[in-house]
Structures are given as structure tokens and as C-alpha cells.
Structure 1
Amino acid sequence: MDEDDTPAAPPRPPEVRFAVLGTVRVWRDGTELHAGPPQQQALLAVLLAGAGRAMSLPQLIGLLWGGAEPASATNVIRRYAGSLRRMIQPDLPRMASGQWLVGGGGGYRIDVDEDSLDLLGFRALYARAREARDEGLIDAAVRLYVDALALWRGPVAAGISAEVRGHPLFTQLDNERLTVAVEAADLALRHGEAGPVLASLQTLADQHRLEEHLHSKLMLALSASGRQAEALDVFHRLRDRLRTELGVEPSAVLSEAQQQVLAKTPPPAPSQARDEAERRSDQPVRRRHGSLLPRPAQLPAAPADFVGREAEVDSLLRQLTAGERTPPASSTMIINAIGGMAGVGKTTLAIHLAHRVADRYRDGQLYVDLRGFDLNGSAMTPAEAIRGFLENLGVSPQQIPDGLDAQAALYRSFLADRRMLVLLDNARDAEQVRPLLPGSAGCLVLITSRNQLSSLVAAHGAHPLALDVMSTESARESLVRRLGADRVDAEPEATQTIISLCGRLPLALSVITARALMNPRLPLGAMAEQLLEAKGSLDAFEGADRSTDIRAVFGWSYRTLSDDTARLFRLLSLHPGATFDVHSAAALGGLTVRRTRPSLAELVRAHLVAEEAGGRHRLHDLLRAYGREATDSYDTADDRDAAHDRLFRHYVQTAHTALRLLDPAHLVTVPAGIGPPAAAGPSSVEAAVRWFQQERLTLTAVVRQAVQDDRPHDAWRLARLLDSMYERVGHWHDWADLQLTALGAAQQAGEPLGVAHAHAGLGRAHSLLRRYESAEEHLCQALVLFEALGDRVGQAHCLRQLGWLMTRTERDVLAIEHTRRALDLYRAAGHLSAQADSLNALAWYQASLGACEDAVTSAVRSLLLYRRMAAGGGSGHGNTWDTLAFAHHHLGNLRRAVRCYERAVRLLRAGGDRYNEAGSLSRLGDTLALAGAAEDARARWRQAVEILTPIDPDWAAEIQEKLSATVSAS
């Protein structure tokens, strides 16, 4: 080969470095780069904090938006990823995979090492420091510790939003820094070399102003450097902050450090200090104060008319005070188990106490109603409660592990070294509560239950409190607070009779007080006589004598209701959900909404139903029990069955209405005999999502109720209607649980079609939960069943979902094959909209992979199908023209691409699809710019920015940067 024929050496890739220990920074060949708009910087920070780990799209979405992501979240992340790639490698072809930001498996990762990322450099130096320490090379170890800490320029990912930085991905890195600093201080102190670590300790102490352990090390380091006065000043300033901001005294750790400074006590012996350092290295120091993690405040409103219970409140406050005086090294969390009969005021006392002491628990309050004595048997499982807590602590559903043990471990990790108040209301037994207990000191747990939780007392040191009925004096004060002193004082004997016949039970007194308020001219003596004449009993809550029999109280209030309202009250006791709205109440009663509203208002006034926010209502457990007894007495079995059937039909009809809004092309039909979709159901996509969020738990209860009522056919069909809603809204763990119920129901009914749909739903839910292996198993089982049933559409749905799954598991060839098979089946079934949508998706996927000729063919086929449909395909028609333009752009057919984009813009604008219109305008601008029509390109970009600014400001900012750059260049 001649010398001239020698191929040129490939260009040297640029040298790229990243930093996340402080502000997020990027350098290429020594020049610092601008990392883009804030949300793009946040994406880069997340990937850098992952330090080479692949992050799936659901993980990234959860981290960046915390469960409030826009519908365009996936596209936004992909755009930012592409922008970051081109920033790092400006010559990188569009859609090409970069050298540093690597895609695959449905997500992204940054390919870095200790030389290109400061976080990995920090960890490498830390590892070498520990090796040197273990080998006895103390001077070298201290230098390595100091070098590692010097890489930190501030808090991790400083500058990005506090919501993103509050995620454990980042807070754990701050904890790593604390761990290394404390470990370095221990080593330096016991070898008389405190000077090198002082700067890092002072910097961290300024950032963690209430972290006592860190400040104790700073004090000892200052003292060892001959700066005792400064060391004592650190103690006094921190003590003042603790008293002022938290109302507490310094812990034993800080006080011991003060004594060592005063006495100039030498550091602990090497072996003792080594054991302590190694223990701490295995348990990273957590930010106990000033945490960036979310601070939940879930306590219900404080009871306005709380009276009495002085002895109980004083006892609980004494326990708290005694616990706070115990040194942290030996203290345990404080658990108070409040027990007693239903209606005795357990929850009221717990909430009152929680508000009294909430300011002592600076990291927040968690609350959950465990529904332990729900008459439908639908008590909340520990896993459901933990998932709710984790979501309120900032963990997205996608990051919650499978299995109760793993979820409980993650929950305990979040509460470790945090001062939290946890109120577990209405617990069934100790087994329901035990997984919800924090694992470390500093927390207060309040539990209410009708049962004695003796095993918690024995195994966890819980303080039991058996709550009795109110004292006569407190009961009278309660009546005075509500009815006024004049009315109560005017009839002392009647007042005493009412208190006695109510058994001094707070719930019963509340019902009677409501009746008295509604009838201000009715003498209390007349009310007392009616109570004396009342008969009946609630067997489960029958006291030793008549004075504790609340059935008489409920019966009297019930008999004051109008006939229509009394009937509605009875039937409401059949509702399986914790709360209900006026529409479901109307369905149970077989009434119009207009006729139902006055009856609900009457029940609320009588305190027989509680009104909650958002138009929801709640029936207390005791009142529900009374209603069940009343319906057994007044209504026939046929009446009750008819009410159940009406409620079921209401939820099926409304779910179908919501489904048609969320997924118009979905072919699910209302089961035979249910009737037309609900006329009063949601009327927009937003309303459909809101309805599902409110009714989600009730819908699950209705499905389970159908199983209990031996209606498995109805159960799996309603569960199927909920698939698209769960897929859109989230709560995928609950979706998987519901589909397991549906699977059992379909198997019980002996209906293969239901079994197939349940497997398909499980496959989709598990896919979103990243349980890819089990997802594939369920989808394959569903596919086999649909094939046996000859259900082409069911097969196609499974294949299309399998295709999506293949792209997440890097089997792109299989993804194409599955998608093509799905298209063939849709064609055979005559499902035009599914064919057109699938062809469009396939075309985009082909173009993204570089197979642009194939993409053009697929897009044209999609357009031909849209032309055949009477409605013209709606916004999907415009989206396909956009895909066709995208393919022509990458084929170099710029004129044709411009024409296709312009047509896409017109169709999308006519269909009111502003978001996708903006996307087409942006891409049209890119094509015009490449064709040399710079001014036309800027005009399209300006239009896109105008549309997107109120919808997706991050994307608007990205286009604005592009616009600004071209203006500057011109």
C-alpha cells in the first residue's frame, strides 16, 4: 500500500471531566462547558450521582419530578440526553450513541472513572486511605483522607432544585462525606495530627449547623491544636442553637467533648478508637438535623373541642420527657399504645397529643389510618402503609422494592437518625403494626387500637394506655363547650341523665350534642326521656350495664331521620370503601343525585356521616355496624343485593366513561346488563384522572367485594377496565395486587378470557415495576391463552407490549419482530386505529435506529390507514406526518421534510394538540436551519417557544437557547 493510501488515524476523542461534589460542572479539553437549562443540569447531576450506574426512564422521571411529572416527561428526558451528548461531543451525528452518555435498557448512564468524575476520585482516595490506615501508614492515611475531602467544593449537586437534591441518591452522598470526615478526625486525633483535618471539619460544621457528632470532632480537633477557647466557643454556640431552634439540651456526645476540652483529656486508645471508627464506617453518618429529605406533615387537624384526659396527657408527656433525657447511645424510640373500645376517643387523644409535641420532632409527622376494624375485612396491609409512607418521604413508586421485608428495611433506613412522629391509627393487632416501627432512637410512635397490643409491650417496650370513658366532669364540660353553659346549667338533672345514658362515651355524646344543636328549642329533659325509652343494642360493643350501651343512642338518632334519609343511611353501611361521594351514595340508594344531596346533608348535621374535603363522606365504624344491623332488620336480602348491584354498575359505568377519555381507541366494552356509560361521569382527561385518584382504593374494594359476593365474573371485568387508568396514573404495586385478585377471580369463574386479561395486566404492571422476567412470563401466558381463544386483538396487545419490553432488555431485533406480528394481527382483526398508531410508532423507532427508508414506508402505510378512517385519525394523523418528516430529514430530503412538517403543524393545530404542534414546529425549525433558511427557522422556533413556555418551560428554554445561539451567530 502506498503511503498516500494509508487511512487517516481516527480523530482523538476529547478529554472530558465531570464534577458533582459541589456545583455540577463539565470540561471538554480543559474548557468548561455550560450544562444547559436547570432541568437538564438536574438530569446530568442524577446520572453523575449514579456514578456509572444505569438509570431507567421511570427512575429518572421519579427523581426529576417526584411523582408530578408532565405527560411529556419521557420525551423531555430524551431531548435533554441528546442535548448533553451533543454538548460533550459537538460533532456527534444526531441519534448516534455518545461515548460518555450511554443509552440502553430503557435508560441512560454516564461512562466515567475516577479520573473523569470527582465522586469516583473521592471514593478511590477514601479506599486508599483506609488501606493505608489498616497497614499502619498513619501519615499517608491522613494525607489521603484530606485529599479525598478536598475534592468537595460544597454540598453535592449544589445549585439544582432542593426537591431533586432531597432525594436519597444525593443525601446519601452528603452522608458519605460526613462519614469520611468523622473517620479522618478519629484517626488524626488519636495520632496527634488534628491540624490537617481542621479545615474540612470547619467547612462541614458550617453546613451542618446542628450535627452534634460532627461538632464534637471539631471541638476535639481545635483543642488538640491548642485552640481550647475556640473549641469551647463551638460548644456554646451549638448549645445556644439547640436550645433556641429545637428546645433541647446538648446530647451526651457533645457534653463529653466539652468535658474532654475542659480537662484536656487525651483521645481514646487506638484500639478503642479503631473499633468505633470501623463501626461508624459501616453505618454512614446521617444528617439528623436540617435534612434535605421531604418533611411530611400528615397529622389530621387538631380536635377543636378537646376536653379532659388530663391524667392521660400528663402521663404521656412525662414519658416523652424522661425519654429525651436519656443519652442517645442508650435511648430507644418511645412507643405509646392507646387502647380502648370504639368511640372512646383514642384517635382524638392521639391527635391532640401529637399536635402538643409535634415541634419536638423536627423531621416531620407521618399518619395512617390502618382500618384495622373495617367491617369489609379490608384492613390496610403493612406493605400498603409502608408504601404510602415511603412516597411521602420522597421515594417514587418505581424505587420501592418488592416484598414487605425489603420495603420495611428501606422505611427504617429513611427514619434512621431522624426525629419523626409516627401516628398509627386504628390498628388491628401487633402484626399489622410491627413492620411500621422505626428501627432507631429519636422517634415517637403513637398507636391506637381496640385490641390490647400486649406483644408490643413485651417485645418493644411500648407504654400501654387503656383509655376509659370520660369522667363525668369532662363529659359535662364537653356539653358546655358545644351547647353553652346557660343551656346545660338550666337542666342539671337532664344533663346528668344524658351523660349517664351516653355512657360518658365521646362518640355517643357527640351524636346527642349534634341533635341538641339542630333543635335549640328542644329541652334537654325531653332528649333524656327519649333516651330512656330507647331499646336495642350493639352486641359487639355492649357494656356491663345500660350506661355503656351506645345502640340506644344511635337508634334514637336514627329514628329522628326522615324515611328517605334513614333508608340511605342503612344502605350506605353496605359501601365497601372507606369514603364515598354523592354519586356512589345515589347509586346505593337508587336515587338521583338531586334527591341524594339533602339526605346526605341531614346525615352530616346529625353527625351520623362525616363530611371530608373534596365532596367525600365517611361513615364511622360503629355507625356502619349499626347501619348493617338496621338494614338486616328493615331491608330484605333482595333489597341489599339490588343495592350492591347498583353500586357495582355505577362504578363500571363511570370507569368506562373515564377509560374512553384516557384511551379512546381502547376496545373494552361495558359488560352486558350494566347499561350505558355514566352521564354524570368525568368529562375531560383531567377529570378522569382526578376521579380515578379519588376512587382508586374504593374501586379495588369493589372488585374484592364482588369476589366475596361470589361474583368473580364481575370482579375481573371491572379490574380490566382499570388497567389503562393505573398505567397512566401510577400506583403500580397496587395495580399488580389488583390484577392478582382478578386472576384468582377469573380462575374461580373458569373463564380463560379473564385469565388472559389478568395475565396481560400483570405483565404491563410488572414491566413498569421493572420486574422484566416476571412481566415476560405473564405476557407470554396471556399470549398463549389469547391464541387458544382466537382473540387477535388480545394477541396483538400482548405482542406490542412484549415489543416494548424487548427494547428495555436490549433485544431490539425481537422488538421489531413482535411489533410486526402485532400489526399483522391488528390487520386481521380490522382494528384500524391500532394499526395506524402501531405503524407510526414503528416508523419512529426505525428512524431513530437509522433505518429511515423503512421508517418512510411504515409512516406512509400509517397515513393510508388514517385516510380510510372516517374521523381522519385526529392528532395521530398529524403525528404520523411529523414522523415522516423526521425520517426525510435524516435521509437528507430536506424539502420533503419541510412540506411534511408543515402539514403536521396544520393538522395538529386543527386538532387542538398544542404540545405536539410545538414539537413539530421545533423540528421544522431544525430542518429549515440545516437547509440554510435561518430566518424561517427562527420564526418556527419562536412559535414553539410561545406555545411551550406555559406548558413545558424546560423544553421552551432549550429551544430558546438554540434560537439565541443562531441569532448571535448571524
Structure 2
Amino acid sequence: MQTGSRGMGGTVEICLLGAVFALADDAVVDLGPARQRCVLAALAVDANQVVSVDRLIQRVWGERPPLRARQTLVTYVSKLRQALLPGTATIVRRSGGYVLTVTPSAVDLQRFHDLRARALAEVDQQAAVCLREALGLWRGDALTGLDGEWAEAERARLHRERLDAESDLADVVLRLGHGEDLVADLAARAAEHPLDERVAAQHLLALHRAGRTADALAGYRGIRERLVAELGTEPGPPLQDLHRQILAADPALSGGPAGTVVRPVAVPRQLPAPPVPFVGRREELDRLDVALRDAPDTAMTISVIAGAGGMGKTWLALNWAHRHAGRFPDGQLFVDLRGFSPDREPMDPSVAVRGFLDALGVEPGRMPADPHAQAGLFRSLLAGTRILLLLDNAADADQIIPLLPGSPGCTVIVTSRNQLPALLIGHGAHHERLDVLSDDQARAVLADRLGADRIAAEAAATDELIELCGGFPLALSVISAHARTRPGLALGALAAELRDWDLGVLDDGDPGASLPAVLSWSYRALTPRQATVFSLLGIAPGSDIGPAAAASLAGLSPEQTRTVIRDLERASLISQDSRGRVRMHDLVRRYAADTAARLPADVRDSALRRVVHFYLHTAHAGDRVLDPHRPPIRLDPPGSATTPQPLPDTGAAFSWFDAEHANLLAAQRTAAGHGWHVAVWQLAWALTTFQNRRGHGRDQLTATQAGLTAGQHLGTPTVRTLTHRLVGMAYATDGRFDEAIGHLNQALDLAEGHEDHLNQARNHRALAWTWRRMGDNQKALDHATRALQVHRFLDNPVEEALSRCLTAWYTALAGDHERAAEHCDVGLAQCRRCGIREGEAAILDTMGYLGLQTGRHEQAIRAYEAAIALYRDIGDVCHLADALDQVGHPHALLGHNGRAREVWREALELYREQGRDADAERVQRLIDALEGTSDRHPVMGRSLATAEGS
């Protein structure tokens, strides 16, 4: 290598990607025979981490080491210490093994991994620079000059990582608009890896960009034939979609900054921060590595990490996931399934799927309403990708199975307190059982965190602390945190405190039984403010809490809250992610909730009331940002210690709602449990717009049902009217129309009985929308017309414009085209005057329909295209699909068959993504009816009707 890390006395570099040697003062160091160099390589691949003696021996000599292997290993290590430059790299003896201590950048393999990880987080231009630098570190095959089973296996693994990095770079360069300049390299790679669909897709796209579309199509036929012949399978959805785009000459394939990327979804990076430091569990990590390495190419890898609560399952899984993140260039997904949460039910798998779809970049309007369709879309998006799924804290296999992808390139890591035999038997999962740490491992943890000298100086006290912790990783973390923050206190004194407080391990055999004792000790060491905040965090609604909400919960300023949170984190009682969100281990949270029971009732209630009001007022402000035309509700002012979070724009509002949705539902449950009925129904109202746009139908039904119950307690007519309407609309969205009509009629009766004209009109509009969904256009028109009449009487321009949009559409559906056109003219002007873009798009859509029905096809096309442009601009892809579907008809009737195929193909794609199978099948028949036709050959209306199945 040409460069290295400058140490105290010179330059040292450990080079694995082509050789095994070191540079010192720019000269090659003689590292001795191959097995001695193999010792360096075996340590360098895990630089700065302990490698056990047994593991080193296995790596150097394989399964049949010589009789004096341990003595020979000591000799090799001694000679390597002499060869390496002092002050820059050294080999240190640690409990159970050795560690190569070196600056991470001095190991070329570490730099390769770091550069790949950086590329994932950079924009394409910088990502390309990182990947080229990473690949530039290679000077041939890895570990050149070494033999043996371990060296061969490691060489093969690193070769695969190199190929993955080359594919990553090709994806980035293609996204930047290149094509012709990549053809030769990609042709060679495709020939070398003829069944790799990712490489094939890159090659086909490069050929198409180079003007060689015929060669690209021939290439697709070739790989399809090979896949069918050799594997008995068709190409995956990504490759098939690319083929269709090439056939259609999709302009999005032209590339450039605005072009469509090879992967049509976002690249999620959801892994929480890695645990630092991480000590021990070396053998478990190695077994996870083996499970990944030995998995067949035709199957995905599933590993289950099982063990008692607080045994370090998530700690282990995250460490492994971050170490291997570079092997999953299409992203990493993470979800806490709350299988053993002290205050919440386990997460429904459909909720987890929905969160994954959001992370994969699926727009709300493209989200299918049916959970089964969402699961199907999730599996389709993962087909052909290499994504890591970390499914944390699972209750049982039923939670996991719906989340399993079908792609063999994906890897799934599951953590659970149960062994999940259904995954082991039915899905071939690898099982990793975590038990308590051995005394040697526990001692290594304490030595790493407190320093070897401090541990060695008080060996007896260390032994007693280890015994008190019982090998429990979380207990060790808490004790070491106390010892670090009190460096002047002898370990013997810490052990004496434990003895004096009589906090010994219980006798029931539970490995976690010592944790309450250790936490009790930790809790007693907190200041009064720290102890109060810790207790309140234990009863806060939701599984985590953001910084702003935590400040309101604590009743402190943001600065004071940050200080307390930092102190609690130093005590290992909580953890924070990169956004400052606070989490507690389930067992710690249960203990914190127990301590909260000792607080005065008014302290607990005041804290919960503050945080509920924080969520309510911030959600209300967010709703106003998302839908400024929605008539607001009036909230009581928040208390002086409650500070809502500012949400300046729609991006900030959606980000906050996405992060806090589960906590908002939990806050509503907390309010209901305390009888705070006003907050309950107001939270249901404040969540409506977000839940509608994100498609959280089931959660919306739950929230509005709670709001209705709260409204009944209050007895206020306006609140009862509103909550009946909210729950009725939620039932309609869920397809439960009988319940929907019943609640909406009750809302209407209440409004009429109290002469509440405004809510009468809104209820008529809700009934109109629901009857239309039920297929009764006449009833829909009757209610829409009555809503319009009332809003005109009230002289409310915005509400009148919204009602006129519905009236125009339902009038058109009823066949009164002239009257519908009049409504459209007036409604279009009203919507534009009031700035209601959704209404403007709806009116234009109706005008397109009228043009189509009256034979004015050019006029229909102009109206539909204007509506389509607006739908695209506001992100309403649900109505976009319908408009694309409709505009194809006048195009086909005018003989614009190419354009008709184009819009219908896009509509078909959208319908499939939204799970609208009947619409997709109908549009597919329309496309099939155009097969063999060319432009200027109109398709008669009867042919279209036949194709639609009418």
C-alpha cells in the first residue's frame, strides 16, 4: 500500500486485500513464515477486538492443530510484537485471547468497510468517490500467500464483498446518467456471473442508454432462458420491470440526476446506533457469521437469538448487523415488536409491514388498504434485493412469519425471549441461545470498561461484583457505569455497599433475578431530580420518547432535561439514539414504573397530563399544516410547563407524525385511562388527516372509537356529532358500511336536533362520500346537493367549494351532463380562488369525464392531463391512478394507441402497488385489447367495453 496511518514513531499499515504484511517507515517488514503471518491476519480481520486463543488456533491450523499449538502461538505473537513498530500497533494479551490494538484506518480491510458504509450515507457523486477509493484498496486476491481452511473461506467471503462493492458503484454511476462507458465492464461481469440478476439489470440499462436497445432486449431473453433452464424460475420483479420500461422506451431510463434509479425504492437505514463498547460474545458472533456464509444462494438466512430478558440479545444483534451492514447495499430495516413490553400489547405484524413500506419509500397513495396486499407489496419490493431485517423483541413466530421476505438475498435476524421453534422447524432458522456470561467473560467486560489495572488491583472485590451480577450483561453495565462515575471509590467499597443493602442474587434460578437488586442500588445513587425523571420515563406513554416530549413530561427546560437524560444514560439506565430519542430496556422500564408508584399521585398525574397535552397540541398544529382548509377545533391553552414542538412545514409535520404515531395512540390510551375525555376525542380529531394520508385505517378506527366513547361521557352535542362522524368515516374507510351509515346518521340527527347547520352540511358530505363508496350514486348526489345548499346559505366559500366538487361528480355520474358542467365551471373558479388544489384537481377530473361521455375527446384529454399534473404535484397517487385509467379511453378512441398503452401501463402499475386487484385486471384487459394495433387506428367504444368486461 502507498499510504498508512502515522503513529508515534512511524507508519504502520496492515494490508489484507492482496497480501498480509506491514509497512513501517515506508519499508516492508519481515513477518516470518506463512503461519506467523496468518496469526496477524486472524487478528487484523477483527482489529481492536479480542480473538480467543481457541479461535486463533482454529484459524491458523484448522481442525487438527499440532500438539504444541498454544506454545507455538505464543512464540508467533512474540515475534510479531517485535516486528510491528512500537507505538503504532501492538498485540495485547487479554482474558481468554489476544487483541491487535491499532488505529482502525491502518487496516485496509477496515477502511474498505468504512468507505462502503460512508457511501450508503452520501449523495451519489460522493458515494461514487467513496466506492472507487474502497475498490482501489484491492491489489489482487485477499490474504495472498496464506492457505488453510480459514484463509480460503475468508478469501471467498471478502471476494464476495468486493463484487458487491463493484455492483454498488455500478448502481451509483448509472444513477448519475452514465451508460455507454459502462457497457464493456458490465458485459464482462455479466459473463462472469451469468445468473446474477442485479448485474444483468445494470448491463441491460447500460446497453439501452448506449442506444443498443435491441441488444438489451436480446440480453433479457438470454438471462431469462438461462434462469428458467438452470434454476426453474422467472426473473425477479425488478428485472421484469426494467424490461417493460425498455420495451416502452420509458424516458425515465435516460438517467441523469432526475432519472429513475435502478432500485425504485428508498434505501432504508433503520439500525439504531451500535453498542459501544462491545465485549465478549465472540463465539456467538462467529456462529452468526457461519450461518450467513453457509446459507445456500437459493434461500434467505434467518437467525434467531433467544435468551432471557436483558441477556444482551439486541446488543449482540446490533453489533453483528453494523459489522455486516456493507453486505446489504439495499438497506437495513429494524423494528421493535414489543413482544414483552410492560405497558403495551405486542405489535401487530401488519403495523410492522406498514412501517417497512414507509421506510422503503412507498408513497401513501400507493399503499394498499388491505393488510394482506400490503404484505404482498412488501415481499415484491424486497424481491431481488439484499436487505437485512432486524426483528427485535418478538413474542412468537406468528409475529415473524408475515414479515419474512421471499428473496434469497435477504437476511433476517430475530431476537426473542422464546426459542420460536416454528421458525427453526418450518423455515430452517439458525438458533443462537444466549445464556449468562461466564466469569471470564464478565471479568473482560469490567476490564474493558474500568481498565485492566483497576480490576487487577482489586481482584477479590471484582470477583464479588461478578458474583452479584450473576453473569447478567445489563447488571454488569449498570455496575460498571457506577464505578466509572466514581473513580475515586475502591471496588471493595462498591461491593460493601451492595452487601450492606442486602441486594444479593435471588435463589429462584432466574438469570435476571439480580437486576432489580442492581437497579435498586443504581436508583439510590441518583439525585432527587434524576430519580423523579427516571420514574416518570417508566410511565410515559409509548415505547420511547423524544427530547421535546421528555421535557414536558419532566416539567423542566430543554437544557435541564438534556442534562438529566445524559446523567441517566451514563448510569446505563436509559439509551439514546442519534435523534435523541430515549429508550429503556423492558425490564428497566418495569422497574422504573414500580418506582413511579412511590411518587405522590399529583406528581404522576401532572407529568402525564403535561406530556398528553404536548402530544395533543403538537398534533393539532401538525394537522393545521397538513390541511389548512380543515375547520379547526378549539383547544385549551397548554400548561406553563408544556411546550409543543414547532412544525414549520409539511415535511416536518409528516416526519413528526411518522415518529410519534405509536406514542400518540399511547397518549390517547393514557388519557382515556385517567378519564381525560376532552384530550381523548381531540387526539382522535388531530390524528385524522395524517392517518388518512398515510393509510393507517385500523389505527384510525381504534382512535375514533375511543374518541366517540369520550364524547359520550362529555355529553356536548357538538362533540358527540363530530365523534360520530369521525368514527363513521373510519368505518367507511374500513369497508364496514352498515356501521358507517349508522354513525353518520346519528351525527346528522344530532346536528339537526340542535340546529347545528355547519355540522349538518359536513355530515351530508360524509354520507355522500360513503354512499358513493357503496355504489348508490343517487343517494350520494342527494346528500352532496344538501351539503352544498347549506354551505351556500352559511356563506362559507371553502366548504361550499368542497361540497361543489362532490356535487359536480355525482351529478355527472347521474347522467345530467349539462348541470354537472355548470357545477364544474363554478367549482373550478371557487377552488382556484380559495387555493384548494385537491378540489381543483377533482373538478378537472370530472370535466374530463364529461368530455369523454359527450364525445368531446380532445377536451377530455386536456382536462384529464391538467388533473393528472395536479395529482402528481400534490402527491395524490390514488386519484392519479384513476385519472390515468380514464384518460386512456379518449386516447384510444382517437387512435392514440401508443399514448393509451403508456397511460394504462402506468395506471396498471399504480393499481398493483395499491392492491386494487380488480382495477388492475380490468386495465390489463384494456392493454391486451390494444395488442397489435398502431396509431391512427381508433379502437371503437364497443371494443373497449368488451375489454373492460362490461
Match of 1:588 in 2: 553
Q: Does 1:300 pair with 2:272?
A: yes
1:587–1:647 contact (8 Å) kept in structure 2: yes
After superposition, the Cα gap between the structure-2 partners of 1:393 and 1:862, relative to the gap in structure 1 and judged at 3 Å, is: closer
For 2:745 and 2:564, locate their aligned partners in 1 and report how far apart those are by CA, in whole Å: 51
2:784–2:807 contact (8 Å) kept in structure 1: no
The Cα shift of 1:347 comes to 0.8
1:732–1:769 contact (8 Å) kept in structure 2: yes
SS at match of 2:334: strand
The Cα shift of 1:589 comes to 3.4
Superposed counterparts of 1:368-407, under 5 Å: 368-407=335-374
Q: Does 1:655 pair with 2:619?
A: yes
Q: Match for 1:322 among 284, 289, 294?
A: 294
TM-score norm. by structure 2 comes to: 0.55
For 1:662 and 1:538, locate their aligned partners in 2 and report how far apart those are by CA, in whole Å: 54
Match of 2:453 in 1: 486
C-alpha distance after superposition, 1:616-656 (max 9, x if no partner): 22222222111111122x22445433433333233333334
For 1:283 and 1:562, locate their aligned partners in 2 and report how far apart those are by CA, in whole Å: 58
Match of 2:759 in 1: 794
C-alpha distance after superposition, 1:664-693 (max 9, x if no partner): 665544467976996654263455554434
1:689–1:729 contact (8 Å) kept in structure 2: no
For 1:535 and 1:709, locate their aligned partners in 2 and report how far apart those are by CA, in whole Å: 37
Match of 1:718 in 2: 683
After superposition, the Cα gap between the structure-2 partners of 1:316 and 1:479, relative to the gap in structure 1 and judged at 3 Å, is: same
Match of 2:574 in 1: 609
1:840–1:862 contact (8 Å) kept in structure 2: no
2:614–2:644 contact (8 Å) kept in structure 1: no
SS at match of 2:319: helix
Q: Does 1:645 pair with 2:600?
A: no
Superposed counterparts of 1:134-283, under 5 Å: 203=216, 206=219, 214-215=225-226, 253=231
C-alpha distance after superposition, 1:500-530 (max 9, x if no partner): 2222222222222222332333333322222
Moved more, 842-851 or 546-555: 842-851
1:839–1:861 contact (8 Å) kept in structure 2: no
1:345–1:506 contact (8 Å) kept in structure 2: yes
The Cα shift of 1:385 comes to 0.7
Superposed counterparts of 1:536-935, under 5 Å: 544=509, 549-593=514-558, 595-632=560-597, 634-663=598-627, 666-670=630-634, 680-682=644-646, 684-686=648-650, 687-709=652-674, 714-727=679-692, 731=696, 734-743=699-708, 756-762=721-727, 779=744, 782-788=747-753, 790-801=755-766, 818-826=783-791, 832=796, 834=798, 838=802, 876=834
After superposition, the Cα gap between the structure-2 partners of 1:754 and 1:286, relative to the gap in structure 1 and judged at 3 Å, is: farther
After superposition, the Cα gap between the structure-2 partners of 1:212 and 1:555, relative to the gap in structure 1 and judged at 3 Å, is: farther
The Cα shift of 1:567 comes to 1.2
The Cα shift of 1:424 comes to 0.9
> What amino acid sits opposite 2:402 in the alignment?
P
Aligned sequence identity (%):
37
- Stretches of structure 1 lacking an aligned partner (at least 5 in a row): 1-158, 163-181, 183-198, 221-251, 254-275, 864-874, 887-914, 917-970
The Cα shift of 1:417 comes to 5.3
After superposition, the Cα gap between the structure-2 partners of 1:401 and 1:161, relative to the gap in structure 1 and judged at 3 Å, is: farther
The Cα shift of 1:818 comes to 4.3
After superposition, the Cα gap between the structure-2 partners of 1:557 and 1:444, relative to the gap in structure 1 and judged at 3 Å, is: same
After superposition, the Cα gap between the structure-2 partners of 1:660 and 1:684, relative to the gap in structure 1 and judged at 3 Å, is: same
For 2:688 and 2:659, locate their aligned partners in 1 and report how far apart those are by CA, in whole Å: 16
C-alpha distance after superposition, 1:450-498 (max 9, x if no partner): 2232333344333332201222222222233333333333332233322
For 2:505 and 2:545, locate their aligned partners in 1 and report how far apart those are by CA, in whole Å: 24
Q: Match for 2:440 among 473, 484, 495?
A: 473
> What amino acid sits opposite 2:306 in the alignment?
G
1:497–1:528 contact (8 Å) kept in structure 2: yes
C-alpha distance after superposition, 1:913-958 (max 9, x if no partner): xx99xxxxxxxxxxxxxxxxxxxxxxxxxxxxxxxxxxxxxxxxxx
> What amino acid sits opposite 1:649 in the alignment?
H
Match of 1:428 in 2: 395
Q: Match for 1:508 among 471, 475, 478?
A: 475
For 1:827 and 1:645, locate their aligned partners in 2 and report how far apart those are by CA, in whole Å: 41
> What amino acid sits opposite 1:508 in the alignment?
A
TM-score norm. by structure 1 comes to: 0.54
Match of 1:457 in 2: 424
Match of 1:104 in 2: none
C-alpha distance after superposition, 1:300-324 (max 9, x if no partner): 3433322221222233333333332
For 1:837 and 1:521, locate their aligned partners in 2 and report how far apart those are by CA, in whole Å: 73
For 1:677 and 1:706, locate their aligned partners in 2 and report how far apart those are by CA, in whole Å: 18
For 2:626 and 2:267, locate their aligned partners in 1 and report how far apart those are by CA, in whole Å: 33
Superposed counterparts of 1:51-62, under 5 Å: none
The Cα shift of 1:383 comes to 0.6
C-alpha distance after superposition, 1:785-844 (max 9, x if no partner): 54455433222223345566789899988777645532443466x574655665896999
SS at match of 2:488: coil
> What amino acid sits opposite 1:646 in the alignment?
R
2:455–2:462 contact (8 Å) kept in structure 1: yes
For 1:878 and 1:350, locate their aligned partners in 2 and report how far apart those are by CA, in whole Å: 49
For 1:319 and 1:446, locate their aligned partners in 2 and report how far apart those are by CA, in whole Å: 11
The Cα shift of 1:575 comes to 0.5
C-alpha distance after superposition, 1:697-736 (max 9, x if no partner): 2111111233444555642332123224444666455434
1:839–1:859 contact (8 Å) kept in structure 2: no
The Cα shift of 1:425 comes to 0.4
C-alpha distance after superposition, 1:429-459 (max 9, x if no partner): 2222222223464543221112232333344
1:670–1:676 contact (8 Å) kept in structure 2: no
For 1:809 and 1:284, locate their aligned partners in 2 and report how far apart those are by CA, in whole Å: 36
Match of 2:318 in 1: 351
After superposition, the Cα gap between the structure-2 partners of 1:746 and 1:500, relative to the gap in structure 1 and judged at 3 Å, is: same
C-alpha distance after superposition, 1:515-549 (max 9, x if no partner): 2332333333322222333346999xx86389950
After superposition, the Cα gap between the structure-2 partners of 1:856 and 1:382, relative to the gap in structure 1 and judged at 3 Å, is: closer
For 2:429 and 2:835, locate their aligned partners in 1 and report how far apart those are by CA, in whole Å: 64
Match of 1:365 in 2: 332
After superposition, the Cα gap between the structure-2 partners of 1:594 and 1:840, relative to the gap in structure 1 and judged at 3 Å, is: farther
The Cα shift of 1:606 comes to 2.0
SS at match of 2:579: helix
After superposition, the Cα gap between the structure-2 partners of 1:546 and 1:393, relative to the gap in structure 1 and judged at 3 Å, is: closer
1:715–1:745 contact (8 Å) kept in structure 2: yes
> What amino acid sits opposite 1:652 in the alignment?
L
- Stretches of structure 2 lacking an aligned partner (at least 5 in a row): 1-173, 178-196, 198-211, 243-260, 845-872, 875-950
Would you say how many aligned residue pairs link Structure 1 and Structure 2? 617
C-alpha distance after superposition, 1:888-925 (max 9, x if no partner): xxxxxxxxxxxxxxxxxxxxxxxxxxx99xxxxxxxxx
SS at match of 1:367: strand
For 2:741 and 2:305, locate their aligned partners in 1 and report how far apart those are by CA, in whole Å: 47
For 2:176 and 2:703, locate their aligned partners in 1 and report how far apart those are by CA, in whole Å: 36
